[in-house]
Chain A
Amino acid sequence: MAKPKKQAGTLSLGAISKTLTGISGLDEITLGGLPSGRPTLICGEAGSGKTLFSIEFIVKGALDYGEPGVFMAFEEKADELKTNVASLGFDLDQLEREKKIRIDYVHIDRAEIEETGEYDLEGLFIRLGYAIDSIGAKRVVLDTIENLFSGLKNDGILRAEIRRLFQFLKSKGVTAIITGERGGKSLTRQGLEEYVSDCVILLDHRIINQISTRRLRIVKYRGSVHGTNEYPFLIDDEGISVLPVTSLELNKDVSSASISSGVPALDQMLGNRGFYRGSSILVSGTAGTGKTSIAASFANATCLRKEKCLYFAFEESPKQIIRNMDSIGMNLQSHVDDGYLEFYASRPTLYGLEMHLVAIHKAIRKFKPDVVILDPITNLITIGSVSEVKTMLVRLIDFLQVQQITVLFTALTLNTIVSEQTDEGVSSLVDAWVLIRDIENNGERNRGMYIMKSRGMKHSNQIREFIITDNGLDLVDVFLTEDGVLTGSAREARLLLEQTGEIIHEQAISRKDRELIRKRKVLESKIDSLRSEFESAEEELNKVYVEEALKKQIMGDTISKMTDLRRAGISSSDKSRSKKIKK
């Protein structure tokens, strides 16, 4: 029996070569896609998404990777298939015209067929081979080959031929997907997994607590590392998105840059910097403590820095949040208009936890925010157990940190004893934990805020009073007295008291100052009078001396004059005497 022209397979002895599927998330789980040039079995129950999965593989291959594909349908007619996937935006007709894909519907009707004697499925091989060669296909889907068993009676021939078919696909060097219906005991009804030994993917559709979740698991992948968990996946208007549960390693980059929390006083408590970029922050508190306000404030600050913020609201509608925040001086609407802020509101009960996670992932991938806010995570607990919520958040944090996205969760605590608060157990996962609690005192309820932890950052250990004003949020120092922590009006009263005391104190000081000045003046005047007294005494003393000298001189003069008079005339001596006096 002659076979169609063979092509060299892409089997290599080294690392297995892989073909990207283009299905969001799947390539990450499989670390690069499906094994190139080999068949992969996708099995699952009816309605688990096998056909969609495989058609997306073909379409993405044709559109994104330049690999034409053949879709051989045993179940749905080509027209039905085209209509079904048109809702996902796949225009199969167009692709077929461009010779990028080829859809071959294989019709098997038992009523039309009579079997007599020996036969083989060479006709199918030739058809497939012709389809592959006509467009140079690199990808092939057989959906679902098990239908052959319902059309043909001779199981022995069929099994031998299916085994040969997989060999044929390998020899053609095409990356193939074979779908199979889930059987009772084995993975597929006809035990196709026996023939496909390279890669088997199981799709599952489970309903827990009335909420359905689709899951995917790689049962085996020979020659490759792969994620072994069950990964939830979502089918929506853009096709399939698979969600990697957690990255396999804990080696994400970290940033030492920090971003403002939007509350300057809170930044101060955090070493005057704010939160680290790419970190995760938990804001927890009892009802009505302003968690949403802090979250909105953070969002506001982000948008004001011209960065993008994605706000997941699980409790309030976006309009409600915008209105409420407007009342404390934050214009979130303008950020929404500018495209920096996007709300994503959904009721937690809308779908399962995993679906939420997938939806969150998708929204994040699409919007590419710098900051993500989840407000509040507490509501998610209504649709899953604590441990489930925790796993989900671990995955989310993981995903966000890899992307260097800062995330802020808010959580409602019902328990007022701080040490017992676990907040869905995420407190150990987050990098910073801001706690707001009510302080009841003096017939008032006030909000006290403190930082439970902030990894890698010097932070304040003080409780501050958290106040919400018309202009936003602020923190003020609380007063610590012998009566305990003073907040609210008690703090105001205390402040007033201290102010009064200060003024009195200041006055006392100024009175003392004035007295000092007066005393100095008195003493200075005393010094002046003493000095003048001394001067007059000195003058007196001087006068005596001068007089004495004068007297002496005059006496001397008189004596000499007398002597002169005795010798010469009076006239000449008169002149010299008058001169002396003038002097």
Chain B
Amino acid sequence: MSKLYELRLYVAGKTSKSVVALENLKNICEEHLKGQYSIEVIDLLERPQLAEGDQILAIPTLVKKVPEPVRKIIGDLSNVEKVLVGLDIRPREVN
């Protein structure tokens, strides 16, 4: 496990969803990616110009820039399994 995860969490102000999402993310990362990740929280209310670059629509959105491929996970990250699949930590179920 030498991969380094660069994660960005886009939020808009301190909404309950954002707070929940950030907490969930931290928990998941601590549990599964300890020492291999960095989290950048971007508040679009402060830097709205960044929304276009990562094609952000929904809030909150977690963007995994590295490693490739780029993935986006939207929502409050309450479903741990889905987050892990989204971050390519768990293999995607073939359906």
Interface-centre pick from B58, B71, B72, B78 (highest chain A CB count, 10 A): B58
Q: Is the CB of A126 within 8 A of B77?
A: no
B31 within 8 A of A: no
Q: Is the CB of A114 within 8 A of B72?
A: yes
Q: Is the CB of B12 within 8 A of A126?
A: yes
Q: Mask for B63-95, Cβ within 8 A of A = 1, else 0? A: 000000111111111110011011000000000
8 Å CB contacts to A: which residues of B1-56?
A: 10, 12-13, 15, 17, 20-21, 44-45, 48-49, 51-52, 55-56
Whether A123 touches B59, Cβ cut-off 8 Å, given contacts A112-B70, A113-B72, A130-B49, is yes
User: Contact check: which of A112, A114, A115, A129 meets B48 at CB < 8 Å?
Assistant: A129
Q: Is the CB of A123 within 8 A of B78?
A: no
Given the complex, which residues of B lie within 8 Å of A117, measured CB to CB? Answer: 20-21, 75-79
Q: Is the CB of A121 within 8 A of B58?
A: yes
**Main SS class of interface, B:** loop
A254 within 8 A of B: no
A189 to B59 Cα, complex, angstroms: 25
User: Contact check: which of B48, B69, B83 meets A126 at CB < 8 Å?
Assistant: B48
Given the complex, which residues of B lie within 8 Å of A122, measured CB to CB? Answer: 12, 15, 44, 58-59
- The minimal Cβ–Cβ distance linking B94 to chain A, given in whole angstroms, is 14
A2 to B18 Cα, complex, angstroms: 12
Given the complex, which residues of B lie within 8 Å of A116, measured CB to CB? Answer: 73-79, 82-83, 86
Interface-centre pick from A4, A108, A116 (highest chain B CB count, 10 A): A116
Given the complex, which residues of A lie within 8 Å of B76, measured CB to CB? Answer: 116-119
Q: Is the CB of B86 within 8 A of A114?
A: yes
Whether A119 touches B78, Cβ cut-off 8 Å, given contacts A129-B48, A130-B51, is no
Q: Is the CB of A126 within 8 A of B51?
A: yes
A116 to B69 Cα, complex, angstroms: 19
Q: Is the CB of A114 within 8 A of B12?
A: no
Q: Mask for A143-176, Cβ within 8 A of B = 1, else 0? A: 0000010011000000000000000000000000
A130 to B57 Cα, complex, angstroms: 13
Closest A residue to B15 using CB positions:
A1
Binding site for A on B (CB under 8 A): 10, 12-13, 15, 17, 20-21, 44-45, 48-49, 51-52, 55-61, 69-79, 82-83, 85-86
Between A and B, 27 residue pairs with Cβ closer than 8 Å are: A2-B45, A4-B45, A113-B72, A113-B73, A113-B74, A114-B85, A115-B73, A116-B75, A116-B77, A116-B86, A117-B75, A118-B20, A118-B75, A119-B17, A119-B74, A122-B12, A122-B58, A122-B59, A123-B10, A124-B58, A126-B48, A127-B52, A127-B56, A127-B57, A130-B52, A148-B57, A151-B57
